[in-house]
């Protein structure tokens, strides 16, 4: 028997066996050369969640980038934008660079943003036609949802009670119109840097995981 005929018979036998296997409903096995572990499969949703949270974070930060220009146009250089950096004790603070777990940092970010949703009511009162306000108010709840989705115990995130909200806004009120407007600008300025610092904190926690996922996909 020639070698060509033998090869054809072997190919026919393999094809027939494959057809019988498919007809029986049995799954075909994947090649073993590129096996993936369960851990690598679990990275993908987390990686996508990380990319998504950064996208939403940028949606919130983007309109705040216009704040400095609008502030300078309003006050015509008579007030320095840097003077708004004098934060009030009631304004949320960023995660510290050390001695903070990822879970604690996420909780602080979520609760801080919830507080800002209240503080923005003061901005809305003083500047009802503020161009950036609608964009911020639409994106912040989405960002809070994404942050809580990354927490192990998101139920620990506590929003302010009605009385606490009322008290917070009362602290911002002032009989002087100029003082109220400056407070409104301080809220927007503080929120901007809170978002920038928050994104940096998330990146610090998530970047090693993203690098591990990318390394695993190229092996």
Distance CA 38, CA 169 (A): 49
State how far the Cα of 179 lies from the Cα of 203, in Å rounded to an integer: 36
The pLDDT score that the predictor gives to residue 198 is 92
pLDDT of the residue at 1: 47
Structure token pair of residue 158: 């506590």
CB 146 within 8 A of CB 199: no
Helix axes 133-149, 102-126, angle to 10 degrees: 160
User: Is the overall model pTM greater than 0.85, yes or no?
Assistant: no
Residue 77, phi then psi, degrees to nearest 5: 75, 5
Strands (E), 64-171: none
Per-residue pLDDT of the chain (219 residues; tens, 9 = 90+): 444 444 444 444 444 444 443 444 444 333 333 333 333 333 344 555 666 888 899 999 999 999 999 999 999 989 999 888 766 778 998 887 677 899 999 999 999 999 999 999 999 999 999 989 999 999 999 999 999 999 999 999 999 999 999 999 999 999 999 999 999 999 999 999 999 999 988 888 776 554 454 445 444
All structural domains of the chain, each given as residue ranges with its CATH number in brackets, are: 42-214 (1.20.1250.10)
Q: Under a CB-based contact definition with an 8 Å cutoff, are residues 110 and 157 in contact?
A: yes
Alpha-carbon distance 140 to 120, whole Å? 11
pLDDT at 49: 60
- Judge whether 124 and 130 are in contact, CB under 8 Å: yes
Residue 196, C-beta contacts closer than 8 angstroms, at least 6 positions apart: 61
Task: Report how far residue 146's alpha carbon sits from residue 33's, in angstroms, rounded to the nearest whole number.
Answer: 36
**What's residue 44's pLDDT?**
40
Q: What is the pLDDT of residues 12-34, one digit of tens each?
A: 444 444 444 344 444 433 333 33
Q: Given this model, what pLDDT does residue 33 score?
A: 37
């Amino acid at each position: 028997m020639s070698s060509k005929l033998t090869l054809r018979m072997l190919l026919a036998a393999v094809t027939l066996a494959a057809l019988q296997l498919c007809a029986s409903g049995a799954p075909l096995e994947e090649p073993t050369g590129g096996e993936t572990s369960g851990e690598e499969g679990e990275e993908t949703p987390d990686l996508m969640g990380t990319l998504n949270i950064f996208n939403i974070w940028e949606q919130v930060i983007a309109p705040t980038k216009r704040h400095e220009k609008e502030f300078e146009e309003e006050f015509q250089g008579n007030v320095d934008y840097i003077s708004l950096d004098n934060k009030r004790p009631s304004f949320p603070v960023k995660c510290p660079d050390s001695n903070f777990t990822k879970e604690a940092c996420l909780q602080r970010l979520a609760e801080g943003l919830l507080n800002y949703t209240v503080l923005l009511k003061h901005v809305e009162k003083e500047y009802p036609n503020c161009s950036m306000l609608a964009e911020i108010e639409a994106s912040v709840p989405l960002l809070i949802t994404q942050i809580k989705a990354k927490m192990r115990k998101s139920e620990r995130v506590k929003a302010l009670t009605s009385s606490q909200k009322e008290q917070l806004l009362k602290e911002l009120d002032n009989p002087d119109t100029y003082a109220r407007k400056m407070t409104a600008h301080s809220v927007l300025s503080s929120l901007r840097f809170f978002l920038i610092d928050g994104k940096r904190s998330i990146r610090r926690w998530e970047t090693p995981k993203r690098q591990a996922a990318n390394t695993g996909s190229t092996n």
